[in-house]
Structure 1
Amino acid sequence: MTVKKLTASTPAAGVPFYTPAQTPPAGTALDTGAEVPTLFTPLKLRGMTLQNRFVVSPMCTYSADDGHLTDWHLVHLGAFALRGAALTIVEASAVTPNGRISPEDSGLWQDSQIAPLKRIVDFVHSQGQKIGIQLAHAGRKASTLGPWHVTPTRREIATAEVGGWTDNLWAPSAIAWDEGYPTPKEMTVAQIESLVQSFADAAKRAVQAGVDTIEIHGAHGYLISEFLSPITNQRTDAYGGSFENRIRVLLDITRAIRAVIPATMPLLVRISATEWMSHAGQPSWDLAQSKQLAALLPDLGVDLLDVSSGGNNPLQKIQVHPYYQVDMAGEIRAELRRAGKGGMAIGAVGMISTAEMARSVVQADGTLAGGEQTQDGQVEIDGENGAVAKADLVLVARQFLREPEFVLKTATLLGVKVQPPVQYHRAPFKRERL
């Protein structure tokens, strides 16, 4: 009797450990044709191609060791890539020590933080997926406690006794977040210039770690967002006052990062489309200014604008409904296309928690899964190819925490046959059981 010799399966390429190659990557649509929703079609951003339109939004987990990622992050982030997310973005990573939100935040301000990030990058790449990192500075919202440490009797401020730095907070102007919070220091021009360099240096480290893309965090009331808003930026120099001056820091950081990353690497920017302060009776950052800013970014080499909102003022009044941020993304997207700047993609984030909603946000015909029109009833036409969508991809946060398998479940619910992780082939999702 001849015994057939077993051979090892094809290993994943370019990683320092054995794992079978995921060819094609999990989450890839196996069917082709018009019946496949846009959500499961590829999207190319410079040299990076995503096999579907799902992105794991950066989510703070307050679990790093002096800015260094740990095994927690490997398992946490790897779970999403394993189950079909085309792009996973590492949580906000501080470009300086005082730019962390909490003492346990991720950072990329020193070379020793490269290797832990690379370990996670290698795993995500072993699954055939892409990984990015969000670079950030928390500004006046830095030096706070992780949310599970906050109690009715314990405030969220991280004092020196627990590793905080309330005496070294940076902001465009010396305006505290709220009553009872520490007053930040107004940054000098030299500090602003050093901040721009810190973003560029962190980007270089991210490239060394092998990431596929970088996102600049310009949202949620952190330092860049504070510069954008006339409420928090009351400077009278070249970095404050006019719209052009208030956006200067973001544009300088964008140019600095674009100059040090590969030409093939896409660059992303996240903004708060509005700070929800129109009720305050004073100038604030709003959707109109976001549209104005968005029109400038493509020429600076930005490939995707990630549209969020709020976070810059405790008095904000958010008008919440399921599409409250998606609609703003759609308006910015439509405005860019009318202006002939449709080459920059738009990402939508916020309350995307069902298969139908994820589909509707990017669907080319502008309909929901049930055949209804988009939430606001409007049909925006993409002048380049006649397609309709609110955004080009969805960034999902909390739903991935609830369901790391959100991509695979969505495919099943929408009737799309996709590639599973090869090791999980015996456990397919069945629509009648979801």
Structure 2
Amino acid sequence: MIHLFEPWSIGNLTLENRIIIPPMCQYSAQDGKMSDWHRIHIGSMLTSGAGLFIIEATGVSPEGRISPYCVGLWSDETQQAMADVLRSVRQYSSMPIAIQLAHAGRKASTYEPWKAQEKGERLIPQSDPLSWQPIAPSAIPFLPDDPAPTAMTIEDIHQTTQAFVNSAKRSEAIGINGIELHMAHGYLVHEFLSPLSNHRQDSYGGSLENRMRFALEIYKAVYDAVQIPVWVRISATDWVDKGWNLDEAIILCKALKALGCPAIHVSTAGLSPQQKIPAGPGFQVSFAHEIRKQAAIPTIAVGLISEPETAEAILASGQADAVAIGRSILANPHWPWVAAQRLNRKITTVPQYWRGKRN
């Protein structure tokens, strides 16, 4: 048996294989609206032969974007732009499409990566009309010299939860097949989870139960609002002493499972510049394995997985139920074709490309 090309289901969504294309920001939207670049990018991903494509981190509000050029889904205009792109690319592919709904929290209002590299600075100056004031659980900046974010009020928390619900309903209305809630990589929900960024003294801070409250409220509200499957991406550890850790992540995943969550997409890090990451091929897979085992919930593994044989070994050994291939699929959008060839399996491809397929 070759596990990588076995069908897999997330809730009631059945995938042809276990290759997931994870959310990858493109920084190419205009006022939150998808552009022609997204037709190129998503069209390329949908002809890859993967089992599922997940749209990049999508802001549930304007201030929830990472940069001014990130995709959003908070208005009729952003919804229509996304619907138009999906309508055009879906003519040529039946691959399921999910979306990652997100709020950047204190890591918002930044330049797109290539401009940040060019300018030598990450944050857009507050004097620039493109910038905005980030919000967070506590007024603690990501870097010590960054301007402090605004600490959220209870009303802000409730409004943000509703923003996730509104975006989820818009997602379902345009035919998206699944929703991933972004609770990883140092963005807003992760900021509530970690004691490094959450110093609140109310019911949303302090104890683990309180720090998980926002995440669980968002999950339940979104889950109850739509009929399509809703799962979660988490960072299983901050890689910082006294930060968010695997033991706490397992407790969160058990609570999410109890609310109906069908799977966890397991990543790590992103919350603190103090993180010390032992990066290498498959370096995050052990976290997916532990969560799968101890929380008894299916997992998607991610983290520098580049070779088909490595991906197959992860599944065959029971460390995860699916694998996410990000950077490698940007480098080679037909990575699943290569995997199928090397593992001697067949894969669905578009007829326009049949001449290039070797199985």
Q: Same fold (TM over 0.5)?
A: yes
Q: Which of 240, 245, 249 is the equivalent residue of 1:277?
A: 240
Greater percentage in helix: 2
Q: Deviations over 1:84-125 (max 9, x none)?
A: 112111100111111110010110111211122223333247
Are residue 362 (structure 1) and residue 353 (structure 2) matched? no
Q: Which of 51, 65, 74 is the equivalent residue of 2:39?
A: 74
Distance across 1 between alignment mates of 2:128 and 2:90: 33
Is there any run of 5+ residues in structure 1 with no aligned partner, and where? 1-33, 338-343, 367-388
C-alpha distance 391-120 of structure 1, shift in aligned 2 (>3 A): farther
Q: Could you say which structure has the larger radius of gyration?
A: 1
Letter aligned with residue 266 of structure 1: P
Q: TM-score, normalised by structure 1?
A: 0.80
Residue of structure 2 in register with 1:11 after alignment: none
TM superposition shift of 1:247: 0.6
Q: Which of 378, 384, 400 is the equivalent residue of 2:329?
A: 400
Letter aligned with residue 309 of structure 2: E
Letter aligned with residue 95 of structure 2: Q
393-402 or 121-130, which moves further after superposition?
A: 121-130
Letter aligned with residue 222 of structure 2: I
Residue of structure 2 in register with 1:409 after alignment: 338
Letter aligned with residue 269 of structure 1: V
Q: Which of 105, 116, 130 is the equivalent residue of 1:164?
A: 130
Residue of structure 2 in register with 1:346 after alignment: 299
Distance across 2 between alignment mates of 1:91 and 1:114: 15
Are residue 332 (structure 1) and residue 298 (structure 2) matched? no
TM superposition shift of 1:159: 2.7
Tell whether the 8 Å contact from 2:8 to 2:14 is kept in structure 1 after alignment. yes
Residue of structure 2 in register with 1:154 after alignment: 120
Tell whether the 8 Å contact from 2:49 to 2:347 is kept in structure 1 after alignment. no
Distance across 2 between alignment mates of 1:75 and 1:391: 31
Q: Deviations over 1:319-360 (max 9, x none)?
A: 2232221111011111123xxxxxx32111110111111111
Residue of structure 2 in register with 1:420 after alignment: 349
Are residue 195 (structure 1) and residue 154 (structure 2) matched? no
Q: Which of 294, 298, 306 is the equivalent residue of 2:253?
A: 294
Letter aligned with residue 399 of structure 1: S
TM superposition shift of 1:126: 4.2
Residue of structure 2 in register with 1:29 after alignment: none
Distance across 2 between alignment mates of 1:414 and 1:80: 21
Are residue 213 (structure 1) and residue 142 (structure 2) matched? no
Q: State the secondary structure of the residue aligned to 1:83.
A: coil
TM superposition shift of 1:78: 1.5
Distance across 2 between alignment mates of 1:288 and 1:84: 36
TM superposition shift of 1:152: 6.7
TM superposition shift of 1:191: 0.4
C-alpha distance 120-359 of structure 1, shift in aligned 2 (>3 A): farther
Letter aligned with residue 159 of structure 1: P
Residue of structure 2 in register with 1:232 after alignment: 197
Tell whether the 8 Å contact from 2:92 to 2:350 is kept in structure 1 after alignment. no
Tell whether the 8 Å contact from 1:48 to 1:266 is kept in structure 2 after alignment. yes
Residue of structure 1 in register with 2:262 after alignment: 303
Q: How does 1:6-405 map to 2 (within 5 A)?
A: 34=1, 37-122=2-87, 123-124=89-90, 126-151=92-117, 154-160=120-126, 162-166=128-132, 168-262=133-227, 265-278=228-241, 283-337=242-296, 344-363=297-316, 366=317, 389-405=318-334
TM superposition shift of 1:165: 3.0
Letter aligned with residue 61 of structure 1: Q
Residue of structure 2 in register with 1:27 after alignment: none
Aligned sequence identity (%): 40
Q: State the secondary structure of the residue aligned to 2:355.
A: coil
Q: Deviations over 1:41-80 (max 9, x none)?
A: 1012222110000111101111101000111111101111
CA RMSD of aligned residues (A): 1.5
Tell whether the 8 Å contact from 1:103 to 1:163 is kept in structure 2 after alignment. no
Q: Deviations over 1:177-231 (max 9, x none)?
A: 1122111010000000100000000101111111000010000000000000011
TM superposition shift of 1:162: 4.7
Tell whether the 8 Å contact from 1:114 to 1:208 is kept in structure 2 after alignment. no
Distance across 2 between alignment mates of 1:407 and 1:91: 20
Distance across 2 between alignment mates of 1:107 and 1:152: 25
Q: State the secondary structure of the residue aligned to 2:157.
A: helix
Letter aligned with residue 274 of structure 1: T
Distance across 1 between alignment mates of 2:124 and 2:282: 34
Letter aligned with residue 249 of structure 1: F
Q: TM-score, normalised by structure 2?
A: 0.96
Is there any run of 5+ residues in structure 2 with no aligned partner, and where? none
Distance across 1 between alignment mates of 2:129 and 2:97: 30
Tell whether the 8 Å contact from 2:251 to 2:295 is kept in structure 1 after alignment. no
TM superposition shift of 1:161: 5.5
Q: Deviations over 1:1-40 (max 9, x none)?
A: xxxxxxxxxxxxxxxxxxxxxxxxxxxxxxxxx4xx1100
Q: Deviations over 1:241-281 (max 9, x none)?
A: 0000001111000011011111xx21110000000002xxx
TM superposition shift of 1:405: 0.1
